[in-house]
Amino acid sequence: MTKPASIADSQHNNVQDMSLNDDFDSPLDKSLDNMDDLNYATLTEALEQTVFENFDDGLYIGMMSGTSLDGMDAVLCQFSTDRNTEQDTQQPMRLLATVSQDFPPRLREVLLALCQPNGVNQLIPTAGEPNSELDWFGWASKEYAEFASDVVNTLLQQSNTDSESVLAIGCHGQTVRHRPQMGFSLQLVDANIIAEHTGISVVSDFRRRDMAVGGQGAPLVPAFHQALFAAPDSTRVLLNLGGIANITVLPAITASKENSNEESHNEKKQVVGYDTGPANLLLDAWTALHTDKGYDAGGAWAQSGQVVEPLLNQLLEHSFFARDYPKTTGREDFNLEWIQDELQKFDQVSAHIRYSSADVQATLTELTAISASAQINMFINADENSTVYVCGGGALNDYLLTRLQAHLPRCKVETTASLGLDPTWVEAVAFSWLARQTLMGETGNLPAVTGANKGVVLGQVCFA
């Protein structure tokens, strides 16, 4: 990427030279009483005049490895400030290249173990491997970063892109513990290693700044959804079906200035986004347990079974579904052990009901469809032209999309391919956009979505 030193060599002041050259009569050497001589109202304004203005246009890489841990995606994006004046909220973006790689088996095994409290106790260390949870955390941070570096370098090689032309990498890392009720979230990644191995600056640690101002640190993608997908004439709902399902409700962006009840009108137009419940996390786990496959391709296995209605009703009693938004969830709430515990309870009170493993898969698919659609229907007006656009790995599950459409009779269900962005890459692109927001000093969270008390610049930058 363009290095800060080269930026400072332009017409703007080089802060490093100002602080190190004793012969230079720097304004920074003056007393605080004379700070007005800098002619900047705030530090942010000063930075905008030196570094951030150089990062609005250019190439960014976004990376994503979701809750389902099915692999790591990386995308190369071109952003431009050339805007359509009729749709000024759109962020022009071109997806230039993509790559996806499966996790190394041992790294995936360790990450899955770290996602569960004391889960590493089940690991059998080999020579040279850790023997405590904290040591495993450090081991996985390093291994994850080295794997991410390989993915980035593969992307650069396949797209014939020079690393110096990429402004930054947005790497979310792997969430192994998300406890918003306790005020923290842990993502595994060592950005220093990625920056060193790729020669590109890395933006990471996106969640904790939002949490510092009272937010849940998730979901973060809705701000990107708003920038890229909001439409002037219709309500759009983005449904991401990753390990966890989450929605972003994008009201029509036009607003009548003459509306007499402006406050109520604006509130109606507010973007809403939150997690609705489990998705591929449970579907993949159950499939892997009972078949020789890692996921239910197209939902064919689920479609071969029958929904066990009493079991579905029991699963829907999970306390998460009754909570008001904003809300987030993850492996802490929904995991294979949870399914097995629920089945044990079900068998105790419903011993007369017979079911197959395919029936359970059908029931889990219905759980995803009904929990997501119930939330979406709250925001759909029958008189509006509304569409639900599905992204994430679940967008490839034809049976799940069919079940969603059955529960969403008032709107169309399509994938984000209809909007010009393949559903597989939406989240990775979102983190390239979030990295760009960080380098420009722009907010990346939506307080109405995360529950934060204000918008803040997210992430920490590790310069290459």
Residue 189's closest CA among 213, 165, 206, 205?
205
For residues 350-386, one letter each, b for 16 or more C-beta atoms within 10 angstroms of the residue's C-beta and e for the rest, the string is eeeeebeebbbbbbbbbbbbbbbbebbeebbeeeeeb
CA distance 66 to 83: 31
Ordered per-residue pLDDT tens for the chain, 464 residues:
444 333 333 333 333 333 333 444 444 444 444 444 555 666 556 555 555 556 767 899 999 998 888 899 999 999 876 544 444 444 479 999 999 999 999 999 999 999 988 999 999 999 999 999 999 999 999 999 999 999 999 999 999 999 999 999 999 999 999 999 899 999 999 999 999 999 999 999 999 999 999 999 999 999 999 999 998 888 899 999 999 999 999 998 764 444 444 444 434 478 999 999 999 999 999 999 999 999 999 999 999 999 999 999 999 999 999 999 999 999 989 999 999 999 999 999 999 999 999 999 999 999 999 999 999 999 988 767 789 999 999 999 999 999 999 999 999 999 999 999 999 999 999 999 999 999 999 999 999 999 999 999 999 999 99
Phi, psi of 2 (to 5 degrees): -70, 125
pTM: 0.84
Cβ burial, residue 25 (10 Å; 0-12/13-18/19+)? exposed
Residue with tokens 């984000």: 416
Helix (H/G/I), strand (E/B), else coil: 444: coil
- 390 touches 241 (CB < 8 A): yes
Cβ burial, residue 338 (10 Å; 0-12/13-18/19+)? middle
Phi, psi of 177 (to 5 degrees): -155, 125
Q: Which residues contact 133 (CB under 8 A, 6 or more apart)?
A: 114, 118, 120, 121
Residue 411: its H or E element:
none
**Type of residue found at 395:** A
- 156 touches 96 (CB < 8 A): no
CA distance 231 to 237: 11
Read out DSSP for 150-176? HHHHHHHHHTT--GGGEEEEEE--EEE
Residue 96: its H or E element:
strand 93-101
Q: Which residues contact 274 (CB under 8 A, 6 or more apart)?
A: 219, 246, 247, 325, 326, 327, 328, 375, 449
**Type of residue found at 149:** S
